[in-house]
Structure 1
Amino acid sequence: MDLHRLAHEYGGRGASMDQRVIFHEEYAKANAPARVNHLGEELLGPTLIAFGTEEQKQRFLPGIRNVTELWAQGYSEPGAGSDLANVSTTARLEGDKWVINGQKVWTSLAHVAQWAFVVARTEPGSTRHHGLSFLLVPLDQPGVTVRPIQQLTGTSEFNEVFFDDAVTDADLVVGAPGDGWKVAMGLLTFERGVSTLGQQIGFARELDGIVSVAESNGAIDDPHLRERVARARIELRVMRAHALRTLGDADPGQASVAKLLWANWHRDLGQLAMDVQGSSSLVGPDHDHAGNPSDITDPEHLELAEWQRLFLFTRADTIYGGSNEIQRNIIAERVLGLPREARP
């Protein structure tokens, strides 16, 4: 299926793979702001083009393109994080409506979104990846409660979402009822596409900033730290080469390798930022190095807060979007053909 040609039919540019790579890299090089509807543009849009009905495409793609309707991703649950097949949120068909009950967690931007694409169990008694459906659910209704999660960084882009007899129209299921696993996995393939090349530009900018701090405070004179900086640059080049080599590859193993590469690299970058600053990395932005209150408008303290936020947020990189353990299981089972991990 030529998604780029089809995207052009629905108002997109129909850009080639090369053009999309150039856009994402140049957008990142300009340090442009993060796009608020990434989940709609990069995930749901291509998924609707690949699996949706003509009516669903006509209804939702214009709002995604014009950024007039924002989307959230209803995958993870308290008992089904990286193990998505353990979903327990249910949906039953009553007349012309799906009635949804359950809880989603770590739902990015749900507090500002109007819609969520939700994986729910629609076949009673089904287990694992069987009996799931991919539903498009409006969030502005009495049966939906969104609660922001306070993070260590002080921000709250993640949320808990509760469905208590929430409803959506019967025809707002993408693919056939029961085919939700296939659609959900298709979406994850789009998630780890060309946009990761832009992500790597941001990573390079962060690394350059950390090197500048190391040069200014003398930490770069430490041979061990210089080696870590050099290794980080080399690994970033390897990530780019891997991303370019595997563009358009639908093999789930490639997506898992990419996630392992960038998640572990970025987590280590956060640790490197702390080590470059030494003991000062433990001091909050509203205190000086002796622990006394200080002026938070001082650029030095604002920079310190930036690296602390990076460190704290990167602790989650190896967990969200599929933990390291799940990615390694995918590679072992689906690529290498090793025996499946024992499950209860």
Structure 2
Amino acid sequence: MRRTPARLAGTVLAAAALVLTGCSGGGGDASGGSGDGGTVNVVASTDVYGSILSSVGGDKVEVTALIDRPSQDPHSYEATARDRLAVSKADLVVLNGGGYDSFMEKLAADEGVPEDDILNAVEISGLEGSEADHSEEEGHSEEDHAEEDHADAGHSHEGHSHGSFNEHVWYSPEAMGLLAEAAAERLAELDPDAAETFRSNAADFNAGIEDINAALAAMRPVADGRDVALTEPVPDYLVEEAGLHNATPSDFTEAVEEGADVPPQVLKEMQDLVTGGSIVFLGYNEQTSTPQTEAVREAALAEGVPVLDFSETLPEGQDYLQWMAANTGAIEGVLQ
């Protein structure tokens, strides 16, 4: 579902005001549906999307996030029988797409979830390359993708190529605003009596997104295209919106994304970049750390280069807006 982003003016909602409600972890009770207790049963691949749907749905939805702990890696996650049961009972399924959470795409396909009952964040994002990525995915099974040779198509996770498109779309606040609006419209179809509530909640969420976007825009004159290095391209959209440039060697990124060892000469190139005095900070993904990314982190710390941690799931006790505002604030703090 593609929606036109609402341009919100006037009063904006502080990120701290939205609280994650009704979002249970993987294996939670997914028995409630639109016909049971008057709530819409939503199953999300990760707690990031669970948080956004909880913000939009409020107490009119029951949200189950299959991945809700930092120790769980969506790229290699293996769905459980409880996950399958949750998806089978879902009124609405929310996933990242783009090959990031392929386990969820497979669950939805296996359980026969109608396309209209799936919100795919990559497809909704409107980000450059997302439509091409989607069209490449269509008409191919998981087995087909595993067998295809994508040697020239860019990086992959666990053997699943994503081409040149960065699938970590939840680090684009604008894209998540679009997702919130799409969620409001689909929830309104599932529960028409609460339609205005959903749309109002989505507007409040987008007010928080506008706050974050305003903070990012204010950084750009200071950032002025300066370089950063990232052990993984997870926060790349946020970095770009702040006016910074990801200077990480492409061969380093590709090796990490493929789960392969970084060649020694490429590791040295990355370490030289980090210690050469040209980068503003090193962005580090501690959830998928390896001895080589840890070595890069240690090199940065030894040189006095700021290291910012960026995760793939929500920190405990924070919702999406609070988390992304904190990430934005961390970048701002380094630039100052």
- The TM-score bracket by the shorter chain reads under 0.3
Q: Which structure has the larger Rg?
A: 1
TM, length-normalised to structure 1: 0.25
TM, length-normalised to structure 2: 0.25
Larger RCO: 1 or 2 (CA < 8 Å, sep 6+): 2
